Amino acid sequence: MFNKKLKGQDLNELQKRNALINQYVLIAQALELQKRVWLNGVIEKMGFDTRKSWEVDGKNGKITELRTPEIKQNEPQRNPTNPQ
């Protein structure tokens, strides 16, 4: 089995690049959160029920309600602590 490690300057460069990537990931996550908060405000101003989940198409602005699958009354429920 081939087993070698990066040393010195190469390892330092890799760590710096990973740190830079992590910073950009955090920036992207913060911008996504800002966008969601802003969209929630716009959706509320338009009179939509904010307790429901809405999806906004970024290309054409179409707003659609996200529906959760309905559970039938007679269907047995799975127990997450004891899945079978």
Model confidence pLDDT, tens digit, residues 2-33:
888 989 999 999 999 999 999 999 999 999 99
pLDDT of 77: 66
pLDDT of 31: 97
Q: How long is the chain? A: 84
**Full-model pTM:** 0.62
Tell me if 15 sits within 8 A of 32, measured CB to CB. Answer: no
Give 56's strand partners: 63
Tell me if 40 sits within 8 A of 32, measured CB to CB. Answer: no
Q: Residues 68, 69, 75, 78: what is their CA dihedral angle, to the nearest 10 degrees?
A: -60
pLDDT of 80: 65
